[in-house]
Chains A and B, each alone.
Chain A
Amino acid sequence: MESVGSIILYFIVALSMIVFSVMAVTTRKILRAATYLLFTLFGTAVVYFMLDYEFLGAVQIAVYAGGIVVLFVFAILLTSRPGDNTERLTSKSRMLGGVAAVITLIVACYSLVSRCALAFAQKPEMETPDMQQIGATLMGTGAGQYLLPFEAVSVLLLACIIGGVVVARKR
């Protein structure tokens, strides 16, 4: 049984995530969309905290909110003037998109609720993984340890840095 506080917190977080997601994709001002995305990402970080993955929540805030959203803001400022509205979408394409999204939602919800008993699993007790454990897992070479992907991601990031420079530089 959860505490009342955590239930209230859950509802606030879930509601804000939903609302901000919807607003992120419906607003006509692109800078606002980026801001709503930031809020959604914060909400996600809170979810991670609630699920006892504190390190993950921290990474979410640091990388996503701190890095990616800032990148978005830079890009938006570079490619549009402040106060620019994206042109109004035609109602037809909005409706089509909405219908597609709703159908996706219904299909997924239906299969989740009616077919997936695991979705109703209780939250078991869990020790919050401490940093030492995370570090060992990330740097270990044994079973269930992730040195190789870690290195691969580091190479990927390096390639990405070089690629970003090459693609975006002035000719």
Chain B
Amino acid sequence: MEMTIPVLILAIPLFMFLFLGLLGMKMSHKLAGTLGTLGMGTILVLSYYTAFQYFFSGAPEFINAAGERLQYLVFDQTWLQFTEKLVIKVGFFLDPISAMMLVVITTISFMVHLYSMGYMRDHHGVYEHGFQRFYAFLSLFSFSMLGLVVAPNIFQTYIFWELVGASSYLLIGFYYTKPSAVSASKKAFIVTRFADLGFLIGILVLSYYGGTFNFAELTSAPVEGLAGVSQVSLGTAEGIKAMFTNSAAPVFMGASVLTWALVLIFMGCMGKSAMMPLHIWLPDAMEGPTPVSALIHAATMVVAGVYLVARLFPLYLMETAALDIITVVGALTAFYAAMVACVQVDIKRVLAFSTISQIAFMMVSLGVARPEFHEGLGYMASMFHLFTHAMFKALLFLGAGALIHAIGSNDYTAMHGLRKYMPITHWTFLIGCLAIAGIIPFSGFFSKDEILSSCLGYSWVAYLWMSLVAGMTAFYMFRLYYLIFWWKEHETPEGHHAPHDQPWTMSLPLIFLAAVSCVAGFIPFGELVSWNGHPYDFMAHFDWSVAAVSLCVAVAAIVLATVMYRKENPLPSKMRNALPALWTWCYHRFYWDELYMFITHSIIFRSVCRPLAWFDRHIIDGTMDAFATVTNKVSEAIKPLQSGQIQMYVWYYLIGALALGVVTILCLL
């Protein structure tokens, strides 16, 4: 495969960022938006071509005779060479998951680019302030995210990881005149930065003991034979065993260094993918424009954590303790987020918690994946869910954006009964809800069902737990659906026109994504993506009993939601009054934010930072000030000595000379 297309895939968004960022203000809003969208469209085509080549061309560099998909290093350029071993490279790496991510990112990103052309202007067609900046940031984000997924070494991953964090910060704080947006962007940045500290330490530990940054070597080659192979078959377990179990790997605090490294890397993933307890930034990140929420905080950036765990999956397999931790964290997060989503009133918040919950599904799926059960079904299920979730969650967010655009509020109480006015939005949103609820034949059904199957292979507790969460997912999504589109509609005040469907730039992405959500479940995903590159027919492992149970649970939950929220009735408030404590806790998101505020403000700031600040201000600064003051005072005091009166100088000289003479005489006496 030639290098031109991969280089273009990375270069175009970077160029668009610089171009729109530097010259955007010189051009009209419409031109900037069109250019950004066209640039993204080009990348979309190139990425589709690349992924198609990778999956279906059958070229020998992509697939071997046994039908195994290979990792292929398109290019790998040395960027910084510090020492013989410590080399930082920038490259482009193709394997099943990166090819899949290329498709996901460019699809969603293109849809969001297109959608924003309509969303970022008001009903009179006036573009928002900073429209060009918005497109520049979107391009920056696309560049960083693409660079992240194609990174052939973990250091490049880290670099682009931070870049997506930065562009997420910029986009959350897009409405920088709004204090809540500013604080939300700061919160997101600080929380993920805190998590990235663990990530960086993990990278350093792993690379120190592994001797390389490269994924290909980390996940397959033994530590002795660090041959610069750019083309190796995926995850050979013997190599990893040789690397970590046979070598005298040191032990730290009762766990092997590998476990520590993997847990620390997972900490970075927790921050980026909003796992508990580092999830607090994601709900607040909804302060950004809705297309941004769809692109970054639902479909692409937040799954980077899942992607990274999948990328290092063969390593995680060596330390199942780390996988167990991932499973537990994911399961708790999934349940927690589903609980909270059931009572939120802000539709974007509901979707945000739903995102957290769904990402936790993927994490759990990775955590329970074992090669001995259905050839690592969980891995494939996780990636599959990542794919389908990106599509339907972007659809839901864009639909929510259309509603917000039409109504001008995030609060569902302002919406009620919109199905007549906004039919396109209504139908596409319904498809999204059905997909996420897991109703056959929508895409969510297949991916979620595989996750549940692999959970069952791990432990029945996990299976029951995740089935419960899946039911809750169906419940809260349909609660949201009914509250928005059903109930009695509000009276449209005189002089206001009724809410209506959006322009084509916004409808087209909705329809496209809805169509994808309908059919994506039938993609033979197991043929394309599996943990060791070995294709298999997942229908062979399809567990119809699990499917039936999950379908029943979903339908039951939908029925429950229909009963409670189809029309205005007293049931919800009755339930709320029956369990007031639970409702309050859920409504306040279990007081996580307050807990963080307490820890940071009351404990860290007050008992650590304030004494430190006092010490800094009074002792350190005081010392410096004292030096300055003394110098100043002494200078002022001796300034008159230099009077310019030459006879005074002679006096000083004479006194000094006489003193010397007298002293000499006295000494010689």
Contact = CB atoms under 8 A, between A and B. Distances in A.
Direct contact of A and B (CB under 8 A): yes
Interface stretch (B186-194, B520-528, B627-635, B658-666): B658-666
A103 B665 CA distance: 13
Contacts of B668: 115
A153 interface: no
Nearest to B654: A100
Contacts of A108: 661
B658 A111 contact: no
B654 A111 contact: no
Nearest to A108: B661
B654 A104 contact: yes
A104 B665 contact: no
Contacts of B664: 111
A107 B662 CA distance: 7
A107 B665 contact: yes
A111 B658 CA distance: 12
A103 B658 CA distance: 8
Interface in B618-658: 651, 654-655, 658
A110 interface: yes
Nearest to A101: B654
Contacts of B651: 100
Contact of B658 (A100, A110, A115): A100
A115 B668 CA distance: 9
Interface in A117-148: none
A110 B665 contact: yes
Contacts of B662: 107
Nearest to A115: B668
A17 B661 CA distance: 26
B648 to A, nearest CB: 11
B654 A107 contact: no
A166 to B, nearest CB: 22
Contacts of A100: 651, 654-655, 658
A110 B654 CA distance: 17
A65 to B, nearest CB: 27
A113 to B, nearest CB: 12
Contacts of A104: 654, 658
Contacts of B655: 100
A48 to B, nearest CB: 28
Nearest to B660: A107
Nearest to B668: A115
A35 to B, nearest CB: 24
Contacts of A107: 658, 661-662, 665
Interface in A32-71: none
Nearest to B664: A111
Contacts of A103: 658
A115 B666 CA distance: 12
Interface in B502-555: none
B297 to A, nearest CB: 79
A77 B658 CA distance: 36
A6 to B, nearest CB: 33
Interface string A8-38: 0000000000000000000000000000000
Nearest to A104: B658
B520 to A, nearest CB: 95
A103 B654 CA distance: 10
B111 to A, nearest CB: 83
A111 B665 CA distance: 7
A115 B661 CA distance: 13
- Listed residue (A104, A107, A108, A111) with the most chain B CB atoms within 10 angstroms of its CB: A107
A111 B664 CA distance: 10
A27 to B, nearest CB: 19
A104 B650 CA distance: 13
Contacts of B661: 107-108, 111
Interface in A71-125: 100, 103-104, 107-108, 110-111, 115
B597 to A, nearest CB: 75
Contacts of A110: 665
Interface in B291-339: none
A107 B661 CA distance: 7
Nearest to A100: B654
Nearest to A110: B665
Nearest to A96: B651
A108 B654 CA distance: 13
Contacts of B665: 107, 110-111
Nearest to B658: A103
Contacts of A115: 668
A153 to B, nearest CB: 26
A107 B658 CA distance: 8
A112 to B, nearest CB: 11
A110 B666 CA distance: 11
A164 B138 CA distance: 78
A119 B491 CA distance: 126
A93 to B, nearest CB: 9
Contacts of B658: 100, 103-104, 107
B656 to A, nearest CB: 12
B197 to A, nearest CB: 72
Nearest to B669: A114
Contacts of A111: 661, 664-665
Nearest to A111: B665
A100 B652 CA distance: 11
Nearest to B651: A100
A115 B665 CA distance: 9
B612 to A, nearest CB: 58
Interface in B553-567: none
B208 to A, nearest CB: 73
A108 B658 CA distance: 10
B423 to A, nearest CB: 97
B605 to A, nearest CB: 66
A77 B654 CA distance: 32
A121 B378 CA distance: 116
A103 B661 CA distance: 10
B663 to A, nearest CB: 11
A108 B662 CA distance: 10
B595 to A, nearest CB: 80
A108 B660 CA distance: 12
Closest 3 CB pairs of A and B: A107-B661, A100-B654, A103-B658
17 contacts: A100-B651, A100-B654, A100-B655, A100-B658, A103-B658, A104-B654, A104-B658, A107-B658, A107-B661, A107-B662, A107-B665, A108-B661, A110-B665, A111-B661, A111-B664, A111-B665, A115-B668
Given A111-B661, A111-B664, A115-B668, 12 more contacts: A100-B651, A100-B654, A100-B655, A103-B658, A104-B654, A104-B658, A107-B658, A107-B661, A107-B662, A108-B661, A110-B665, A111-B665
Interface of A: 100, 103-104, 107-108, 110-111, 115
